[in-house]
A and B are shown apart, each in its own frame.
Chain A
Amino acid sequence: MKVSILLSSVLSLVLLASCGAPAPAGPAEPVKITIFVGFGTGGDPAQVEVHRKLAEAFNAAHPGIQVSFQTVLNADHVTKFTTMLASDTVPDIVMPVGVQGVAEFFDEWIDLTPYIQADKYDTSDFYGPAKEAHTYAGRVIGLPIGVYPQVVFYNKDLFDRSGVSYPPKKFATPGWTYDALVQMAKKLTLDKKGKNAADPEFDGKSIVQYGFGGWEGGELRGVVGKFDGNMRGFSDDYKKVIMNDAGWKAALQFMADSSLVWKITPKFSSTAAVTGTFTAGDPLGTNKVALWECYSWASYLYENWNKNFTWNVAAVPAGPHGTIIAQANDDTFAISKHSKHPKEAWEVMKWLLDPPQMAQLTKSYGAIPGRKSLADGWLSEMKASNPNVDWDVFIESNNYAEKPNAESWNPAYRQVWDEMQKAMDQVTSGGAADGAAVAEALNAKVQGYTDEYWKTAGK
């Protein structure tokens, strides 16, 4: 009996509460914006902490929008993001993402042009080539957060020991070509008796030091551009594959000759086959490689280099026809076309692109800020960290970025990417000596993927 009285009292109270006066209208629920991290850098604990603090600062200043970061492992990003697409739970923003990440999900991003125009947003402060890297047929997918231009890193100690002059730091220095680099690298490639690769008595089977680390970590289409090949690798309508022109053949031949004929480059594989080996990913760090052409994302290696040898950077050489291309990787953001709040997502991104926030982000990513106005600050910081390096070479390199970017979209993107990596593997691992034959085989394979792509595109 007591129980039934108690129950009816509770039920009456609930009923009274629900029939009471309407609650006063509170402030509108803030719009929730999620930023997906995992397409590139951004997953290290220190970077996660930077993201968290930026989110806190944004949320405190913008009561109408609440932003949060969702971080996944880089290796899982394709699977995770695809699953989100399939289940319609796509986050609003992806960041940081490179040109490759944008290309992997090419149709999933909104065009920022209307937002930029509506806000009269000033984009003149961003590096021009980096902006172009994120613009496709008039569609602006993102704006550069950070850039990673290519330079030639070199080990000064090895140069000093061999009595070889350092490479020039000024871009377009007369005579600074890949031919000159080969001659320089030969003098720096030594066998166990100390003979260099330019010496007739040099023993190519007992090399203890290499002159040139090649483009380990680089992208084939960018190298092709240096040799005046078709950098896109495709006709304008992307239906005919052009990966067998003279430039493609010359680029692949140069890589094959570097290790097999001139013996200035160790046999490397550009696939993940070597990511676990002790020398892979960091030829210069072995202290047995004199020159290495790589992007500024190698910054995570500087600490180790500083401990073991003195180093500096030089300009990227000119190709056989005088073309200078310093490849560039870029970090940007992209707003999903499935976002329910693209306007608010754009507001978040504008705030993150503001100089103070961009400086924090790029410092944590190891990138050069995408705004020209932040270059001086970056240079001061870097000079303070290592005064022996000509840091301004990185800034100048931005003017020589490739167009289109070596990671830009093409049909059957991942398959074609894999085939290009395999072609590079063949010539950098010593598996093939004939660059022209590799180029022809690559062209045929990629044409097959491309035909298949267009056969089913839009169906």
Chain B
Amino acid sequence: MANLRRICEQELAGQYALEIIDVLENPQLAEDEKILATPTLIKQLPPPLRRVIGDLSDTEKVLLGLEVRPQASAQTPPRDS
């Protein structure tokens, strides 16, 4: 959680909306979203839908996965919300 807040603040300051759900309290939501692992980070917008599981300690991988930072060889400019 600390990792997530740090990443959000550092990389996406002011450009994000974050909702935190406790699956133990709301298992039906986990069922609907077909979530297996905790913690799971779901990036709903902008598309494409992406999921990152784990404590997000590997910041580079998180950013790569969320496509909020240009990949080394990628042509597309960074997209953010």
Q: Do A and B come from one complex?
A: no
